[in-house]
Structure 1
Amino acid sequence: MVGREGDLERLRGLLEAVADGVPRTAVIGGEAGIGKTRLLAEFTASVPPEVLVLRGQSVDLGTVAAPYAPVKDVLRSLIAEVGAEAVMNAAGPGRPALTALLPELAQGDTDAGSSAQLHEAVAVVLERFSHDRSVVAVVEDLHWIDAASLTLLRFLIRAVRRGRLLLVLTYRSDDVTRGHPVRGFLTELDRGRAVDRWELARLTKAQVRRQVKAILGGVPDPDLLARTAARSEGVPFFVEELLGLDTCPTDDGLPDTLRDLLLARYERLEPGTQAVLRLLAAGGVRVPHELIAAVHSGAAEDLDAAIREAVFASVLVAGDDDYAFRHALVREAIHAELLPGERGRFHAAYAEALERTAGSRRVAAEISYHWMAAHVPEKAFPATLAAREEARAAFAYATAGQMGERALELWDQVAEPERVAGMNRLELLGRTSSHLRNAGENERSLALIDLALADGSPDRPLQYARALRDKAYYLGNAGRTGTVPLLEQAVALVPPGSPGELRATMLTALAGRLMIEGRAQEAIAMATDASTEAAAAGSDRYSSVAHNIAGVSMVHNGDVEGGLAELERARVLGDGDRVAGLRYRVNISDVHYLLGRYRSAVQLAESGLARARELGVERISGVILASNAVDPYYALGEWDRADALIERGLSLDPPFAFRVYLQRARMWGMLWRGDVSGAAVMFRSLAPSIASLVEAEMQTRLGIARLAAEIAIAEGDDERAWEEASVVFRAEHRSLPGYDLPLLAVAARALAGIRRSNPEAASSIDIDAAASDVRGASADLAGWPTAPVWTAFVEAELGGSAGTGLDPVLWRRARTAAAGGPVHLGPYASLRLAEAQIAAGDRVGAHESLQAAVADADSIGIGLVGDQARAVARRARVNAEPPSQPVSDPAPDAAAEPLTPREQQVLELVARGLSNREIGTELFISGKTASVHVSAILRKLGASTRTEAVFLAGAATR
């Protein structure tokens, strides 16, 4: 442990820190031989006896890792400590998923669970056992880890927020090269607040001296020390190996290469022991005694003698019931020495032994690996297919996809592959593509499904239809367009009344996509057909989903009561079904929000979260439901709760679309809290990545357009705001009233802003025609429940004699109407009323309105309105603070930038009512230059209109 004292104390410090009930993660990297395993051994040996230590080891199976190998190790070590019954009881509703991972725990369970339940179950188990005692969960060798385990670790680090849990991960840094999946994982960890990551450094010459002295038990010879330090390059394992060569006192006797050094101890052993070590090297990182005994062809006594000699020579380490090489580098060097004949025989022997002794444990991935290494495709093909199915059953979709790809590579190397596989190549392509899609490998899944479609045959229309449906799913998951035509093609290939649920699933999927694209009438018709097909197939799940889609589409289409009735039918049909039930709760809570029923929207979302908790998917599907409470919480003024839900949801890495929804809400909250620049910077950085979803989903397009327009207004760019908001008038727009109405109010605000600031600059926009369009579109949606709120704001924004939104009467009406809308509208209406009153010369009224705006904005946390109201108050020289504060005219702002003589001239002409062109003629300058001077005047005076600028300039001279 020379040179690792600080690392050991760092781990001990983290263990002490988790005693506060907040989990931590330590990630330790380093090159091969640097001492990661030794450090962990010292650390775990030194922890107090009441600390529960769980161990997991990633397995090296070449290009396709064994699914969940380290996770299974951790769980099995927990079971060994507390018993299977205690672990299963702790898993709660996740018991079936845990059984799918560890079949030996099965007790008649029939529900296979889901990957979401598995993730939640492991998190719950670790949380519960770390509630009363500290738990250290060690996972070694991340560089060999499978994708499913890596995803689960990522989830645990993000999702487990309570418990005395220390997760310790190690990896070999020289194996985590560019493109390695662990590389991205490590980058994500660097952004985590509860993660400590560091790499073990090589030893200094002084530390090597200490290590040599400790090993030899005395002061080393200076020449020996110099040679050891130079040849080991400060790697502790190499120091030990070099000192083990007691017959090599000079440089001439030292190994010339790393390979020779690693094999030095091995080559000094008896030939029989070397043969056993070669056999063990083919077995993997850690080989059970039962397995090596099954593949060893000699007597048991000979095997024991060979292993004993290897242990005494510090080549092997014996566990309770297995063996491992003292260092993985030694195993790799010995395995590389195998002759082709040995390699084939040894790996075949392991495959056959695993096939005989597997029992209930899932080892098909290992069997596939050994048959592949033995170069026996006839055996590797069925083993690989079995491994694919095992991985799928355990929700290790990435491994299932990799095994499917391996089976496709072997397809042409075996006789009668279709008979052996029990499926044709098109079906295997489709299933493999599905696994990759479930693993998040969208590009690879699309490539395979395109290959399946290219291989498709008109003689197999149902399979071809499934491939079309699957491609549509994958495009939808990636937030891309093109799903509807694919689904329409698929539906056409499956005639009405076809047996099974295939047509019902396709119609339901098509109806859902039509709904998302805003094609409500078509979605209703398609959902009606889907419900008929689902009922004929006896599927309550798809019947529920079909009624769900129909209900939402009917609501968007204006039939609110009819739509809510359909949604109630969806609830009844989906009662008890995990998928349909949660989908109902997602949509019903969203519908209530759009209808302006904010409190019930929150309650429905929270009841959905409770149901997700019952099903053991609180931190997966539950996050999606919790995110549906964000907008209604904002609308109710519970901003901190909304912010907390956003942060929690994003930390759990939700699906792409829901991540966009949460990011949109976060930016909107930042904007209205007053962080305009932060919201703008975040929006511009995310815009390219969300562009595809904006194209594919009408509701996302409208929500993002509203956000973009409001940011533009806050930045003073009303023309850009109009460009963003005018999406409601484009040819491709399909009306969704709940989204259209707020956007129309923003559009009206942008138009009024253009009129107020610089009418001549808006020559490219026919403002009168645009204002008429906004009013007309708003009137067309008068039947929507929230229309009275938003229509009042449209009229106020576009009101006044000049259409500049400065009519106090209309803003009083808007402020009254705001009581039925989101809470931020009330303070905003008070602010706009004050601006109208200032323009009308009503300083007393403006004082009262500004006080109301500030008081309400501060109480809710709407910094944008509070800041703007105070700025208006400073410019108008009135007090905007609450009534308890003394009312007096504040002193002029000393920091205000004075007007130049030319700007004073321009302001005098503005006061006379001259346009920019007329000002230019009067002063012998261009109209454009006059426009620049007017903009500078507005900025310096803090005015939003020419009229307000004249008023404020006059107030400043009084």
Structure 2
Amino acid sequence: MSLTAATGSWQDWVMQMTASSTHMIGRDAEAQALLASFADATESKPQAVIIGGEAGLGKTRLLEEFLATVSSQARIITGQCVDLGSLAPPYTPLTGVLRSLAAQIGLEAVMDFAGPGRNALALLLPEAAAEIDALPTANRVLEAVSTVFERACESQPLVVVVEDLHWADDATLAVLRFILRAFNGGKFLLVTTYRSDDIHRGHPLRDFLTESERGRHAKVINLGRLTKDQVRGQVEAITGQDAGYELVENVFARSEGIPFFVEELLGLGDCDAAGKLPSTLTDLLLARYERLDDQVQYFLRVLAAGGVCVPHTQALAAYDRSVEEFETSARAAQRGNLIAFEGNSYTFRHALVREAIHADLLPGERTRFHTRYAQALETADLGHHDAVEIAYHWHATHAQEKTFKASIVAVVEAERSYAYSTAARMGERALELWDLVQDAEASAGMPRYALMARTASAHNQAGNGERSLAMIRLAAAEPNVGGTELARLLAAQARYLGFNAQLGSAALLMRALELTPRGSDDVLRATLLNHLAARYLLEARLSESITVASEALELTTVTGDRMEQSIASNLRGSSRVLAGDVDGWGEDLALAQDLAQGNIDALMRFRINYSDSLHQLGRYDESIRIAEDGIRQARELGVERTTGAILSSNAVEPLFARGDWTAARALLERNLSLSPPSSFLAYLLRSRIWSTLWSGDTDSAESIFRQWQQLLGELARVEMQSRLALVMLSAELAWIRGDLASAWQEVSFLSSKEFRPLPGLDLPLMAVAARILAASRNAGDPVATDAETSLREILHRDSFWPTYPAWLALFDAELGGETGCGTDPALWRQAGDLGAVLPAHLRSYICLRRGQAEHGAGNRADAIAALREAVKGAKKLGAGMVVTLAKDFADRTGLNLAGPSTRPNTAEPTAREAQVLALVAEGLSNKQIGAQLFISAKTVSVHVSSVMRKFDVSSRTEAVNYARNKNNPQL
């Protein structure tokens, strides 16, 4: 009987009958978890749910049931990842999601939702015909998609669905990762699915899943296989009849508890006899397919070459038979429960079936079908023209020339849409084919070294540092490359070394400059000079940085390149101030700001360097203002959460220094959540560790430090500012845990050959070194006798710095007194008088140390007053370390920091208590007092405690002093 008959065949009826059970079996807990996340989302608590499991476990069924439940309460938009091996087209599922939204509210409304990022959104929606934004950063895409979702969930809950995440490209994962971090509010739920058995070691989704599981609002649902009882329930739900013992045993054994296989087995008819069932998984997956007529099988083979979900126009173009046969076959395949119709596309009911059919293609069929798909895509309109997909189909046909050309186009398209991982992989594919095609250079439109350089750049942008360096070295080693072209390659290699915290950038840039003498290419030479000046600045080679930046400024003034001119002036000014020109450096920065107008990149660089210099000069308010100006502009441009995050990180330290710890912590955590570049991440992590330490949570600070010590150390190798900051952080961690030997070893870097002065960072480190030296002396630990002399020599080099007097006063106080341990109260009072320009936590610390010195000098009242001031100031900041140190000292010395009692104290000691107190005043112990009064030491302790309670004091000494002040006649 033909499947095209109106009534259909018996097998057709069976397959429709066994499509699925009327209700889900064994997924109640998972369904409730999804609904709970949706409930949280409706209360403006953004949620993400990631559903994982082996192929065939029912991820899509669970999702469909959930969506059906919430469809009346939320807007649902969906996207599907496509299976093109390791070369998934960039942003495909996100394009699908946005088109799904556009179908509901209109394309123009979607573009309006993007606000300032509408041009970047055009990369994902070419049908919008908007002008592509030329800003060379992927941040705009991240911001644009996030902003659209944010706006779309304002009026009603929004559920965004992305299926089959195991096929997602890196660019898509980057957007989803950003959304998971950046969303702080809104009625938003993201639901994704992935096939866990496809996530091998090294799969790009692994890191995404690990990171997502740590998220505050992310939930992972892992589906398991069904039990035998659950399989019985599924069989009975599908057949509508009680399931016999043999049937259940047989189906359970063959399906291994995978719901999809249960359905497929039941679709075969008689399942009672084990011998009648397919012997392999492939046989099972093809069983339904093989029962269909030949023409339907042919249709499915053509469709399988197109992927899991194939647009009608593409499928029809690849089909070489009549339209009538195409449509008839499509309907039969749908009735046979092998495909479904979704909009204008055909979707295989399960990816496993598509994979099995595709693997069963004959070599000739594979070539013909993929060729037709490639040709159909090449002639498609702009919205459906994807070079990566075209390259995939040509590659499947082994057409090397066409694969090569399509791969080159794919590199360009992926770069334009900031899908750098895809660009890198397509570049490598083209390079593999270079020697196999005719006149590759003409076909590519570039020499091989240029393609290598582009591929290296894509690897670098994608965060694959080692691969980018390996590729750019190969490019520089290509024969027949020299002059300015080689200079560009060396400059790129220098940049990648810097990005990956490796040494050697300066030497490469020097060699590149030798290849670019004056008059050869002055625009390139100016850029190289700026790169070298920036590297010298980071390495604290300040005089060299000033010289090189001056040449760049001179050259750019002639060429008229305002951006590079602004950068040169910026670098020279930033170097001049650190080198001692604290009066004239502002001229360069003012010029840099003026030249940067209209150029976002130059303006952001100006604000970053200027705000940092102001912070080191102790001008915290100005530093914060400059950074906040940049943040506001980033907000206007729609890049507040990306480009703006870099400037936000620059505001964190001056906020801490000014004393706005609450604002600093909020900004710090916000920026850490946005996955900044590794260098900015290191800066933020240092601030987080430091603030955690000074907040009093030493254990957490140590834990975070150990976790990120390698990253901090890598950056410290190539940046002097990071080296000094890491030394200070390591020293303070060792100091607070009492490991003075390790702490001293850290600060001894100041006298090493590698040390280069940067006064804004040297001076705080000098103060820490003095603190450790004083503590070591007090503990009797051996320290070199000339240690203080050496430190003072280094300290004197920074005498030109505006905040030097305050740091010198703190240094002197730490090492003051007869023993050099910080015991001179006058020096601490002087440090406090000058401490207004010091970071806020040190003002409370100075009060603590003054209190300790006053107590040592016998000034009890002054000690209490200073310690109370330290505690009050530290509590206001949140500097719990100072609070703990102050209270511990007070407890050890019997100082009452609580202040006089506010309740009237009318209770008088009894006669016996007065006797006990008198003997306490003589310095006797409880045991000695008990012997004199013929009572036990325990009874003495009870009397002493009673007196302390009546006098509202915290120690025996205070009780005696209180009684004397009351003119007790017995004392």
Give the alignment's TM-score, normalised by structure 2: 0.89
Q: Give the superposition deviation at 1:447.
A: 1.2
Contact 1:719-1:750 within 8 A present in 2 as well:
no
Contact 2:47-2:189 within 8 A present in 1 as well:
yes
Matched to 2:738, the amino acid is G
Distance (Å, rounded) in 2 between the aligned partners of 1:52 and 1:500: 56
SS in 2 for 1:561: coil
Partner of 1:151: 174
Indicate yes or no: 2:708 matched with 1:686: yes
Contact 2:730-2:743 within 8 A present in 1 as well:
yes
Partner of 1:898: none
Indicate yes or no: 2:528 matched with 1:518: no
Matches within 5 A, 1:240-639: 240-246=263-269, 249-457=272-480, 459-499=481-521, 501-639=523-661
Contact 1:117-1:615 within 8 A present in 2 as well:
no
SS in 2 for 1:832: helix
Distance (Å, rounded) in 2 between the aligned partners of 1:90 and 1:556: 45
Contact 1:51-1:133 within 8 A present in 2 as well:
yes
Contact 1:624-1:658 within 8 A present in 2 as well:
yes
Distance (Å, rounded) in 2 between the aligned partners of 1:650 and 1:6: 33
Contact 1:582-1:612 within 8 A present in 2 as well:
no
Instruction: Write the deviation string for residues 438-482 of structure 1: whole angstroms up to 9, x where unpaired.
Output: 01111111111121122254x532221111111111111112221
Matched to 2:879, the amino acid is I
Matched to 1:610, the amino acid is R
Distance (Å, rounded) in 2 between the aligned partners of 1:12 and 1:328: 26
Contact 2:126-2:382 within 8 A present in 1 as well:
no
Deviates more, 1:502-511 or 1:23-32: 502-511
Matched to 1:792, the amino acid is A
Distance (Å, rounded) in 2 between the aligned partners of 1:618 and 1:394: 20
Indicate yes or no: 2:834 matched with 1:817: yes
Q: Give the superposition deviation at 1:39.
A: 1.3
Contact 2:538-2:721 within 8 A present in 1 as well:
yes
Q: Give the superposition deviation at 1:847.
A: 2.0
Instruction: Write the deviation string for residues 715-769 of structure 1: whole angstroms up to 9, x where unpaired.
Output: 22333222212222221211111101111111111111221110xx41xx323x2
Partner of 2:106: 83
Q: Give the superposition deviation at 1:382.
A: 0.4
In the alignment of these two chains, the number of paired residues is: 891
Indicate yes or no: 2:53 matched with 1:53: no
Indicate yes or no: 2:695 matched with 1:651: no
Q: Give the superposition deviation at 1:335.
A: 0.4
Q: Give the superposition deviation at 1:397.
A: 0.5
SS in 1 for 2:301: helix
Distance (Å, rounded) in 1 between the aligned partners of 2:42 and 2:271: 50
Distance (Å, rounded) in 2 between the aligned partners of 1:287 and 1:779: 74
Partner of 1:866: 883
Cα gap change, 1:814 to 1:540, in 2 (>3 Å): same
Contact 1:96-1:113 within 8 A present in 2 as well:
no
Cα gap change, 1:649 to 1:108, in 2 (>3 Å): closer
Q: Give the superposition deviation at 1:775.
A: 2.1
Partner of 1:236: 259
Q: Give the superposition deviation at 1:108.
A: 4.2
SS in 2 for 1:881: coil
Indicate yes or no: 2:846 matched with 1:829: yes
Partner of 2:120: 97
Distance (Å, rounded) in 2 between the aligned partners of 1:219 and 1:438: 60
Q: Give the superposition deviation at 1:779.
A: 2.6
Partner of 2:26: 3
Partner of 2:895: 878
Distance (Å, rounded) in 1 between the aligned partners of 2:136 and 2:540: 33
Matched to 2:677, the amino acid is P
Q: Give the superposition deviation at 1:344.
A: 1.0
Distance (Å, rounded) in 2 between the aligned partners of 1:735 and 1:884: 52
Distance (Å, rounded) in 2 between the aligned partners of 1:584 and 1:833: 41
Q: Give the superposition deviation at 1:563.
A: 1.5
Q: Give the superposition deviation at 1:557.
A: 1.0
Distance (Å, rounded) in 1 between the aligned partners of 2:479 and 2:670: 44
Instruction: Write the deviation string for residues 312-336 of structure 1: whole angstroms up to 9, x where unpaired.
Output: 1111111111101111000000001
SS in 2 for 1:628: helix
Contact 2:672-2:681 within 8 A present in 1 as well:
yes
Matched to 2:342, the amino acid is G
Deviates more, 1:240-249 or 1:267-276: 240-249
Partner of 1:727: 749
Contact 1:117-1:617 within 8 A present in 2 as well:
yes
Distance (Å, rounded) in 2 between the aligned partners of 1:850 and 1:92: 54
Q: Give the superposition deviation at 1:842.
A: 2.1
Contact 1:527-1:547 within 8 A present in 2 as well:
yes
Instruction: Write the deviation string for residues 119-166 of structure 1: whole angstroms up to 9, x where unpaired.
Output: 011111100111111111011111111111111111110111121110
Distance (Å, rounded) in 1 between the aligned partners of 2:627 and 2:261: 59
Instruction: Write the deviation string for residues 185-223 of structure 1: whole angstroms up to 9, x where unpaired.
Output: 111112111000021111122221221112112223332
Matched to 2:103, the amino acid is A
Cα gap change, 1:719 to 1:249, in 2 (>3 Å): closer
Matched to 1:387, the amino acid is A
Partner of 2:685: 663
Partner of 1:896: none
Contact 1:725-1:743 within 8 A present in 2 as well:
yes
Deviates more, 1:348-357 or 1:46-55: 46-55
Deviates more, 1:653-662 or 1:243-252: 243-252
Q: Give the superposition deviation at 1:109.
A: 4.9
Partner of 2:947: none
Distance (Å, rounded) in 1 between the aligned partners of 2:603 and 2:863: 52
Partner of 1:948: none
Matches within 5 A, 1:134-149: 134-149=157-172
Matched to 1:570, the amino acid is A
Q: Give the superposition deviation at 1:227.
A: 1.5
Deviates more, 1:853-862 or 1:597-606: 853-862
Distance (Å, rounded) in 2 between the aligned partners of 1:804 and 1:338: 84
Distance (Å, rounded) in 2 between the aligned partners of 1:381 and 1:588: 47
Contact 1:851-1:879 within 8 A present in 2 as well:
no
Distance (Å, rounded) in 2 between the aligned partners of 1:793 and 1:886: 40
Matched to 2:322, the amino acid is A
Matched to 1:283, the amino acid is G
Partner of 2:936: none
Matches within 5 A, 1:55-204: 55-109=78-132, 111=134, 114-204=137-227
Indicate yes or no: 2:755 matched with 1:738: no
Indicate yes or no: 2:243 matched with 1:220: yes
SS in 1 for 2:884: helix
Distance (Å, rounded) in 2 between the aligned partners of 1:211 and 1:500: 75
Q: Give the superposition deviation at 1:793.
A: 0.5
Instruction: Could you tell me which runs of 5 or more consecutive residues in structure 1 were left unpaired when the two chains were aligned.
Output: 893-900, 902-950
Give the alignment's TM-score, normalised by structure 1: 0.90
Distance (Å, rounded) in 2 between the aligned partners of 1:208 and 1:23: 35
SS in 2 for 1:101: coil
Cα gap change, 1:454 to 1:263, in 2 (>3 Å): same
Contact 1:97-1:114 within 8 A present in 2 as well:
no
Query: Aligned match of 1:766 in 768, 779, 784?
Result: 784
Q: Give the superposition deviation at 1:883.
A: 6.3
Contact 1:497-1:533 within 8 A present in 2 as well:
no
Matched to 1:267, the amino acid is E
Aligned-residue CA RMSD (Å): 2.2
Q: Give the superposition deviation at 1:5.
A: 2.7
SS in 1 for 2:161: strand
Distance (Å, rounded) in 2 between the aligned partners of 1:676 and 1:16: 38
Partner of 2:64: 41
Matched to 1:688, the amino acid is Q
